[in-house]
Amino acid sequence: MQLYNKLSAKERAELIDQVGKSRLTLSFYQYAKIDNPQVLRDHLFITWDALDVLGRIYIAHEGINAQLSLPADRFNEFKNHLDGIDFLKDIRLNIAVEQDNKSFLKLKVKVREKIVADGLNDTTFDVTNKGIHVSAEEFNNLIEDENTVLVDMRNHYESEIGHFKNAVTPDVDTFRESLDIIEDDLKTHKEDKKLVMYCTGGIRCEKASAYFKHKGFKNVFQLEGGIIEYTRQIKEQNLENKFLGKNFVFDERRAEKISDDVIACCHQCGKPADIHTNCANDACHLLFIQCDDCKVEMDNCCSTTCKEIHALPFEEQKALRKGQGNSNDIFKKGRADHLPYKKDLRNIFETLKVDNK
């Protein structure tokens, strides 16, 4: 019985081309109490592998978080399987704004401690006691209210290429950092301000809304389905789009264009740009923003040093990497010191502009 992916990304990409079928990229999540995540994990892998599902799925005692792709002609089979699982029946599926047959190249179903890495040790709050979900139309109206504080719950490298107008975008590297910052800055407004949050697909806001309610906030709202669902609704209902730029996504596409605005710049030359890339040097893989001109000039690398290493024969590169591990720059995501136009690391407590008088 096969319980793990056996094909490399390259082999899978070639197979997708050979089959020639259109694939559908989608995501979903659900907080629920799962007694035995490993049993569910194995069941999902066996079933979804047979359906040619590819993606990254996390399962924990607190629920499931799935980002995946599957052949479009097998969508109904997939949906019927979900509906056969009690806590996933009629689950909202966020269909990607932009489709790509190679958004995922492996099926990875993993058991994790949590489906969202929040760094919290507080087990006294109920993650299912969430805030009020609002539609795109309700969201647009709500964020025009002067008593609303709109907060982006994503990390700095996500909001850097796209965010809602007038949103507070905490300059943070992790979801956990945002929670303390927001609570501290809004501690005197737990009853009079409307805290409205959004993220990519809703999963981070779901947990954050429950956490802030637990901390005493009275008016907590979240954008239903996140940026992905918002984009679908504004198109279907012909609503005003209040999102600027691109929505960062965690697959091979890296981003979906929501508006034509380019609000970021190339980290190497400073020209307008909003395309993330990973440094081609296998010992680096730093995530950063690079324009097309710099991509050609730097051979898809983040520095001259990395470019020189990347130009070496593969065996020489491999020898240099032996025993070294990845550079710590891989964790900086666009903040490496050698990037002249990286986003400024401001005091994160100054990013929330709320009148506390």
Q: For residue 346, is it within any domain?
A: no
pLDDT at 355: 52
3-state secondary structure of 6: coil
- Decide if 120 is inside a domain: no
In this structure, are 183 and 219 located in the same domain? Answer: yes
Q: Does residue 349 surpass a pLDDT of 50?
A: no
Both 225 and 138 in a single domain?
A: yes
How large is the average pLDDT for residues 230-259? 94
Same structural domain, 147 and 225: yes
In a domain, 2, yes or no: no
* 106 and 21 assigned to the same domain: yes
CA 91 to chain centre: 19
Check: CB of residue 117 under 8 Å from CB of residue 80: no
* High-pLDDT (> 70) share of the chain, %: 93
Instruction: Write down the pLDDT at residue 98.
Output: 87
Residues 319 and 228 in one domain: no
pLDDT at position 173: 86
Q: Do both 99 and 154 map to the same domain? A: no
347 has a pLDDT exceeding 50:
no
* Bridge partners, residue 59, by sequence: 64, 111
User: Which long-range contacts does 74-77 make (Cβ < 8 Å, 24+ apart)?
Assistant: 75/24, 77/51
Residues 229 and 148 in one domain: yes
Looking at the whole model, is its pTM more than 0.85? no
Does some domain include residue 165?
A: yes
* pLDDT confidence tier of residue 45, bands split at 50, 70 and 90: very high
Residue 206 lies in a domain: yes
CATH number, domain containing residue 93: 3.30.70.100
pLDDT of residue 348: 41
Report the SS3 class of residue 314: helix
Give catalytic residue positions.
199
What is the pLDDT at residue 8? 85
My answer on whether 140 and 216 are in the same domain is yes
54-60/63-71 β-pairing: antiparallel
Tell me: the pLDDT tens digits for 47-66? 999 999 999 999 999 899 99
* 51/99 same-domain check: yes
Could you tell me if 101 and 138 lie in one domain? no
State the CATH number of the domain containing residue 165: 3.40.250.10
Check if the beta carbon of residue 149 is closer than 8 Å to that of residue 222: no
The verdict on 16 and 105 lying in the same domain is yes
Q: Which long-range contacts (CB under 8 A, 24 or more apart) does 36-41 make?
A: 37/61, 37/111, 38/111, 40/64, 41/109, 41/110, 41/111
Band (221; pLDDT cuts 50, 70, 90): very high
pLDDT band at 356 (very low <50, low <70, confident <90, very high): very low
Domain C-terminal end among 237, 267, 285: 237
How many independent structural domains does the chain possess?
Answer: 3
Residue 63 lies inside a defined structural domain of this protein: yes
Question: Residue 169: inside a domain, yes or no?
Answer: yes
Distance CA(51)–CA(85), nearest Å, equals: 16
Distances (CA, A) of 247 to 6, 134, 316: 31, 19, 38
Full residue range of the structural domain in which residue 84 is found: 9-111
Co-location of 60 and 100 in the same domain: yes
Does residue 141 surpass a pLDDT of 80?
yes
Q: How confident is the model at residue 6 (pLDDT cuts 50, 70, 90)?
A: confident
Task: Give the phi and the psi of residue 196 in degrees, each rounded to 5.
Answer: -115, 125
In a domain, 21, yes or no: yes
Contacts of 170 (CB under 8 A, 6+ apart): 151, 152, 156, 177, 178, 181, 182, 348, 351, 352
